[in-house]
Amino acid sequence: MIGLKQVKHIAELARINFSDKELEGFQKDLSAILEYIDKLKEVDVDGVAPTSHSVNLKNITRLDETKSSGDDLADRLIEAAPRKKGRFVKVKPIF
Amino acid sequence: MDLSSLTIKKLAQGLGEKEFSCEEMIGAYLGNITKNDKTINAFMSVFDKEALAAAGEIDALISRKEKLPALAGVPVAVKDNILVKGKRTTAGSKVLDNYIAPYDATVVEKLKREGAIIIGKTNMDEFAMGASGEHSAYGLTQNPNNPDYAPGGSSSGSAAAVSADMCLCALGSDTAGSVRQPASICGIVGMKPTYGVVSRYGLIAMASSLDQIGPLAKNIEDAKILFDIIKGRDKMDSTSCETGRELEEAPKEIKNLKIGLPEECSGRGIQKEVRDILEGSIKKLAGKGIKIENISLPHVGYGVSCYYIITPAEVSSNLARYDGIRYGMSKSGDELLDVYLNTRGEYLGEEVRRRIMLGTYILSAGYYDAYYLRAQKVRTKIIEDFRAAFKKVDLILTPTLPTLPFKLGERLNDPLAMYLTDLLTVPANLAGLPAISIPAGEAGGLAVGLQFIAPHFQEESLFSAANFFENEIAPRHS
């Protein structure tokens, strides 16, 4: 079972606010899931290469060119921001 | 107007021969939505006015005797994690409650280009995390055939909408079975293409090494028509590729196919009613002269464990973007950090937060090797199992789910039981293989689907075997 202190630490890393009750719930759930996935320790993976791409696609590259979307896409993207000033996205200051 | 037996080809024929107008037909689908969707809750939004206007345009084309595009007038529902320009797109989450898609996903653009009518956006488990539709922040979806039962998930609304004749076909996304599994439960066809064959530009990311968009339809023919339109390399998705890259010969004739039955997917752990339907189908296949061979995929049982390491890890990275700064909902706070904490605490649902927490833990200092790296190595072992199997057989047959469909609420409070719903579908995602779920029978009024899995890029033989199965092994009355 993972400790409550560790669960709190993970919540901080994940940038999520939780109530104490929720944290206790996660402690239980995460422990059960971790116990289940521990099954993987049964598999002998000595000398096995990890898979990050299942189809072995080669790198696909393209020229790094500036392109205009040709419509009002940029305006719509800016418009989606919750807080803005003119065409700037506004955030709280960081000190 | 009887919509239950309509197919894409029959629709085109009906329009061409003026059996019905496009407006009448779209009106009939919209009528079904009005009548039934208050209880089923398959749709997040319905575009009735635009759909009727688009239908009017198709009718005008017909009266001018102009050539119609391939999907002219076909009402398609789109899962709410796929962008449709100018439309609200929530991915089933409150954090995107106010999000308006600024562009069309490539798959949507392709459908529109072929004359399809996007009739609405469908309900889903939040950010596609769930196997029952119950994790939607906008209320659960009912199984149209059995109201007490879950429709499966995460493409819950897409499967229910097709099954209840509220659209002709639909798009979903499949990360661990999220197209095939609800299709099986709702008694329809659902297909996951080879990883990379369908562009994901405009699909809201969950687990990027596994996500694929796939079609849901009443029959194989329609699923294949949709697939052929949405597939192909897209310059906007650098993980996309052409089909047929590694396949030069035409698919084998059905009679020459050898089908593999993995012992791990047909014995213990599979509910008896499901096993009976599998065994019945195998007998019929053998009766038609198709060779069946028992095979072994020794590591396939570790699929769910692998998945529940890889997915949360990728989820925790992909969902870091929902921070209340650039789009979506935002909850204010004293400092920048409080904006993140408050926004994510307030608007992300329980299952999403559970997976972000698990992924953050797995990727945190000191645990990477023990979990993530090990899972990626076991993933290699699973891929090697399939590679060895496909040296002996052309296709693999398994049930789509290890159990019969389950009731609403039955697995909601037990995350592990919910995760095990994906036991037989997740291996194809981990290995990037194409797979399809086909209705194979019923037990006690509950639909059971079987799944074919093919080697990479062999969608052609997957569809032709599935077509044979549909016509010869488990024909339905329609």
Q: What is the pLDDT of residue B247?
A: 54
Establish if A28 touches chain B: CB-CB under 8 angstroms: no
User: Given a cut of 60, is residue B248 above it in pLDDT?
Assistant: no
User: To the nearest whole angstrom, how far is the Cα of A70 from the nearest Cα of chain B?
Assistant: 12
What does the DSSP assignment read for B338-370?
A: HHHHHHHHHHS-HHHHHHHHHHHHHHSTTTTII
- The Cα–Cα gap between A74 and A90 comes to 16
Q: What is the pLDDT of residue B197?
A: 95
Both tokens of A8, joined, read 């709190």
User: To the nearest whole angstrom, how far is the Cα of A33 from the nearest Cα of chain B?
Assistant: 7
Q: Which residues contact B270 (CB under 8 A, 6 or more apart)?
A: B278, B399, B402, B403
Beta carbons of B277 and B440 less than 8 angstroms apart: yes
- The Cα–Cα gap between B71 and B68 comes to 8
User: Given a cut of 80, is residue B244 above it in pLDDT?
Assistant: no
pLDDT in tens, B71-127: 999 999 999 999 999 999 999 999 999 999 999 999 999 999 999 999 999 999 999
DSSP 8-state symbol, B253: P
User: To the nearest whole angstrom, how far is the Cα of B203 from the nearest Cα of chain A?
Assistant: 16
- The Cα–Cα gap between A55 and A68 comes to 32
DSSP 8-state symbol, B162: H
Beta carbons of B107 and B116 less than 8 angstroms apart: no
User: Given a cut of 60, is residue B246 above it in pLDDT?
Assistant: no
The stretch B49-65 carries a mean pLDDT of 97
DSSP 8-state symbol, B409: T
Residue A33 lies in a domain: yes
Beta carbons of B134 and B140 less than 8 angstroms apart: yes
Report percent pLDDT > 90 for chain B. 90
Residue A19 lies in a domain: yes
Task: Indicate the length of chain B as a whole number.
Answer: 478
Q: What is the pLDDT of residue B203?
A: 98
- The Cα–Cα gap between B82 and B361 comes to 29
CB contacts, 8 Å: A23 with chain B: none
**Which residue in A33, A34, A67, A90 has the most chain B C-beta atoms within 10 A of its own C-beta, making it the best mutation to test that interface?**
A33
Beta strands in B47-145 (DSSP E): 75-79, 117-122
Helices B22-40 and B48-63: angle between axes, nearest 10 degrees? 160
Establish if A29 touches chain B: CB-CB under 8 angstroms: yes
Give the count of beta carbons closer than 10 Å to the beta carbon of residue B84: 24
User: To the nearest whole angstrom, how far is the Cα of B413 from the nearest Cα of chain A?
Assistant: 10
Range of the domain at A10: 4-41
Beta carbons of B94 and B329 less than 8 angstroms apart: yes
Closest CA to A35 of B358, B443, B331: B358
Q: What is the pLDDT of residue B54?
A: 98
Establish if A7 touches chain B: CB-CB under 8 angstroms: yes
Task: Indicate the length of chain A as a whole number.
Answer: 95
Q: What is the pLDDT of residue B45?
A: 98
For B407, list phi and psi in degrees, rounded to 5. -75, 155
Residue from the list B341, B357, B379 with its beta carbon closest to the beta carbon of A26: B357
| Residue appearing with tokens 């592990």 | B416
Beta carbons of B425 and B176 less than 8 angstroms apart: yes
Beta-carbon separation of B376 and A50 below 8 A: yes
User: To the nearest whole angstrom, how far is the Cα of B159 from the nearest Cα of chain A?
Assistant: 27
Residue A14 lies in a domain: yes
Q: Which of A64-73, B262-271, B351-360 has the lowest mean pLDDT?
A: A64-73
pLDDT in tens, B253-267: 888 899 999 999 988
Q: What is the pLDDT of residue B478?
A: 43
- The Cα–Cα gap between B103 and B236 comes to 12
Beta-carbon separation of B195 and A54 below 8 A: yes
Beta bridge partners of residue B237, listed in sequence order:
B234
CATH code for position A12: 1.10.20
Q: What interface predicted TM-score (ipTM) does this complex get?
A: 0.94
Helices (H), ranges, B64-138: 106-113
Residue B271 parent element (H or E): none
User: Given a cut of 80, is residue A95 above it in pLDDT?
Assistant: no
Beta-carbon separation of A43 and B345 below 8 A: no
Give the count of beta carbons closer than 10 Å to the beta carbon of residue B16: 11
User: Given a cut of 90, is residue B407 above it in pLDDT?
Assistant: yes
Q: Judging by DSSP bridges, how do beta strands B291-295 and B212-217 pair with one another?
A: unpaired
Q: Which chain A residue lies closest to B194 (C-alpha atoms)?
A: A55
pLDDT in tens, A1-29: 889 999 999 999 999 999 999 999 989 98
Q: What is the pLDDT of residue B249?
A: 61
- The Cα–Cα gap between B62 and B1 comes to 20
DSSP 8-state symbol, B167: S
Reported confidence tier of residue B268, pLDDT bands at 50, 70, 90 = confident
User: Given a cut of 70, is residue B222 above it in pLDDT?
Assistant: yes
Q: Which residues contact B33 (CB under 8 A, 6 or more apart)?
A: B43, B46, B48, B119, B120, B166
What does the DSSP assignment read for B307-339?
A: HHHHHHHHHHHHGGG-SSSSSS-----SSHHHH
- The Cα–Cα gap between B391 and B137 comes to 45
Catalytic residues of B: 79, 154, 178
Q: Which residues contact B377 (CB under 8 A, 6 or more apart)?
A: A43, A45, A48, A49, A50, A51
- The Cα–Cα gap between B279 and B124 comes to 32
pLDDT in tens, A24-63: 998 998 898 889 888 999 999 999 999 988 887 777 788 8
Establish if A51 touches chain B: CB-CB under 8 angstroms: yes
Beta carbons of B458 and B245 less than 8 angstroms apart: no
- The Cα–Cα gap between B441 and B256 comes to 25
> Exposed e or buried b for every residue in B345-369, given b needs 16+ CB within 10 A?
bebbbbbbbbbbbbbbbbbbeeeee
Beta-carbon separation of B308 and A33 below 8 A: yes
Both tokens of B279, joined, read 């065994």
Alpha-carbon distances of B349 from A6, A7, B129, rounded to whole Å: 21, 18, 10
Establish if B426 touches chain A: CB-CB under 8 angstroms: no
Give the count of beta carbons closer than 10 Å to the beta carbon of residue B265: 23
Residue A27 lies in a domain: yes
Q: What is the pLDDT of residue B477?
A: 47
CATH of B1-478, one of 1.10.3470.10, 1.20.120.80, 3.90.1300.10, 3.40.718.10: 3.90.1300.10
**Helices (H) and strands (E) in chain B — how many of each?**
15, 11
The stretch B152-177 carries a mean pLDDT of 98
How many separate domains does chain A show?
A: 1
Reported confidence tier of residue A69, pLDDT bands at 50, 70, 90 = confident
**Helices (H) and strands (E) in chain A — how many of each?**
3, 2
Query: How many contacts, defined by CB atoms under 8 Å, are there between A and B?
Result: 162
Both tokens of B332, joined, read 């204010």
User: Given a cut of 60, is residue B245 above it in pLDDT?
Assistant: no
Please identify among residues 217-256 of chain B the ones whose CB lies closer than 8 Å to any CB of chain A. Answer: 235, 238-239, 241
Q: Judging by DSSP bridges, how do beta strands B75-79 and B291-295 pair with one another?
A: unpaired
Chain centroid to Cα A55, Å, comes to 23
Reported confidence tier of residue B331, pLDDT bands at 50, 70, 90 = very high
Q: Which residues contact A65 (CB under 8 A, 6 or more apart)?
A: none
Tell me what the pLDDT averaged over chain B comes to.
95
- The Cα–Cα gap between B433 and B453 comes to 7
| Residue appearing with tokens 């072994």 | B296
Q: What is the pLDDT of residue A49?
A: 95
